[in-house]
Amino acid sequence: MHADHDGLVAPGYGKVADAFTAELTRSSRGGAALTVMVDGEKVVDLWGGAADADNGRAWGPDTPTVTFSCSKGLLALLVARLVAAGKIDLDLPASTYWPEFGQAGKETIPVRWLLSHQAGLSYPTEDITRDDVLAWHPVVDKLAAQAPLWEPGTGHGYHALTYGWLVGEVVRRVTGQSVGEAFTELVTGPLGARAWFGVPQEELASVAVLAMAPEINLDLLPFTPEFDPVRRAFTLGDAFPSTVAGNGTGLSDPAIQAAEVPGGGAVATARALAAIWSSAILPTSATRPLPEDVLTDMVRVQSSGPQILGLQGIPQPSWGTGFMLDSPDRPFLTSSSFGHDGTGGQLAFADPTHGVGFGFVTNDVQGAAETRTLDILDALRNAL
């Protein structure tokens, strides 16, 4: 693919553009976009490549794509808004808001543990189907009835998809709205940002088509008792393919994209992600930043190091309350950065030190997720 890109590069940020161009050059199957805001202003706003290679659709400035686990950071931001409004107390039992959750040994699990992968519900013991996912309620009913897989609070294990329904149901109970509705009202609507939990029907045709690297396939990993929990965390047993997204399946399925899958299914543009994360730390004409006490609390480390269930030797990020934090295995811009990455290279975060809102998205979903944006971050660090 040719490496031409369009957009804006402010003086002093040329090396960031060069790093983005290098990413595009390495990509043969898709496109990407990068938006960086500093002190509320765009300093880098670039896009290039193919949104749909098979049909010749080029990536445009407002092309949205599946953001995978960047979704978790967006959901944590929504929760932070509700905490700031006094509607959620992170240290109260989740059953305070969602009474049905308080069974099978989960009566005292605080909301915070749902956001920090400590609830012991990283995968469902009863298969969840695609129809369950489309309907929402069957998923949360099954998770509410399930006993924890380990003693909650004694360790963490990545809740790859269940995170979205566990946290999302608390949001639904306290707002009386679906997660997508609450997200639009409290986060994206005031900013005019193109990001959704549940893509509107009229926007589905604009979503970039995912090109998944062949190595992103759970069937290629050793099928051992140690591995099975990881497989179930990403497939839910029956809802998603072993490749996470395929030709019209999984997160490439338009019906799934239109449904609300807040653990990994948020769809957004790079511009939207940068604006959303910038608005978490800086005022806009329509929004206030998160209160300092809420932010300080939610970026305190809750989970780090080896996971209770999972493959050994894989990167071990560090999490606050829902937010992924800067760590040796997942470096961000500075130690103050908070946000979330996503499968195959997606990255979105805020950095209070430099007043940065950052969004990088691609539909060329590569296996080595952790390394895709490191050169871009290095260039940005030098520019700042």
Domain locations in the chain as residue ranges: 6-383
pLDDT of residue 315: 76
Task: Name the pLDDT band for 369 (thresholds 50, 70, 90).
Answer: low
Cβ neighbourhood burial of 3 (10 Å; 0-12, 13-18, 19+): middle
- If phi over 0 gives left and psi between -120 and 50 gives alpha, with beta otherwise, what is residue 86? left
Nearest of 249, 88, 261, 53 to residue 163 by alpha carbon: 261
Task: Name the pLDDT band for 215 (thresholds 50, 70, 90).
Answer: confident
Q: Which of residues 316 and 4 earns the better pLDDT score?
A: 316
Residue 27 has pLDDT above 90, yes or no: no
Residue with tokens 């490749």: 243
pLDDT of residue 5: 65
- Per-residue CA distances from 228 to 112, 263, 292 (Å): 26, 19, 41
- Per-residue CA distances from 382 to 180, 305, 375 (Å): 37, 29, 11
Residue 314 has pLDDT above 80, yes or no: no
Task: Name the pLDDT band for 3 (thresholds 50, 70, 90).
Answer: very low
Number of Cα atoms under 13 Å in the Cβ half of residue 338? 24
Q: Give the integer Cα–Cα distance in Å for 256 and 223.
A: 27
Q: Which of residues 238 and 350 earns the better pLDDT score?
A: 350
pLDDT of residue 230: 85
Task: Name the pLDDT band for 227 (thresholds 50, 70, 90).
Answer: confident
Q: Helix 270-281 and helix 70-84: axis angle, to 10°?
A: 30
Cβ neighbourhood burial of 70 (10 Å; 0-12, 13-18, 19+): buried
Segment among 274-288, 309-323, 344-358 with least mean pLDDT: 309-323
Q: Which H/E stretch holds residue 31?
A: strand 31-38
pLDDT of residue 28: 77
Q: Work out the average pLDDT over 277-287.
A: 97
Q: Work out the average pLDDT over 286-311.
A: 93
Nearest of 358, 65, 20, 74 to residue 212 by alpha carbon: 65
Q: Work out the average pLDDT over 63-75.
A: 98
User: Which residues, including other chains, have CB under 8 Å from residue 228's CB and lie 6 or more apart?
Assistant: none
Tell me the per-residue pLDDT of 160-193, one tens digit each, with 9 for 90 and over: 999 999 999 999 999 999 999 999 999 999 999 9
Q: Work out the average pLDDT over 215-223.
A: 81
Strand partners, 193: none
Q: Which H/E stretch holds residue 358?
A: strand 356-362
Q: Work out the average pLDDT over 17-44.
A: 94
Give Rg (Cα) of the chain. 19
Residue 310 has pLDDT above 80, yes or no: no
Q: Work out the average pLDDT over 290-311.
A: 92
Whether the CB-CB separation of 317 and 330 falls below 8 Å is answered with yes
Residue 282 tokens, joined: 């800086």
Residue 1 has pLDDT above 50, yes or no: no
Q: Give the integer Cα–Cα distance in Å for 175 and 227.
A: 37
pLDDT of residue 372: 76
Helices (H), the chain: 14-26, 70-84, 111-115, 130-135, 137-145, 162-175, 179-183, 228-235, 254-258, 270-281, 292-298, 374-383
Tell me the per-residue pLDDT of 244-270, one tens digit each, with 9 for 90 and over: 998 999 999 999 999 999 999 999 999
Q: Which H/E stretch holds residue 32?
A: strand 31-38
Tell me the per-residue pLDDT of 121-156, one tens digit each, with 9 for 90 and over: 999 999 999 999 999 999 999 999 999 999 999 999
What is the third-level CATH fold of 6-383?
Answer: Beta-lactamase (3.40.710)
Q: Work out the average pLDDT over 82-108.
A: 98
Sign of the CA dihedral with 46 first, then 44, 369, and 379 last: positive
Residue with tokens 């960047």: 70
Residue 119 has pLDDT above 90, yes or no: yes
pLDDT of residue 368: 62
Residue 2 has pLDDT above 80, yes or no: no
- 185-192, long-range: CB < 8 A, 24+ apart: 186/78, 186/81, 186/82, 187/74, 187/77, 187/78, 187/81, 187/276, 187/279, 188/272, 188/276, 190/284, 190/286, 190/287, 191/272, 191/275, 191/276, 191/279, 191/284, 191/286, 191/287
- Per-residue CA distances from 241 to 87, 184, 234, 251, 278 (Å): 36, 29, 9, 9, 34
Q: pTM to 2 decimals?
A: 0.96
pLDDT of residue 316: 86
Nearest of 32, 24, 19 to residue 380 by alpha carbon: 19
Angle at 228 between CA 224 and CA 232, to 5 degrees: 165
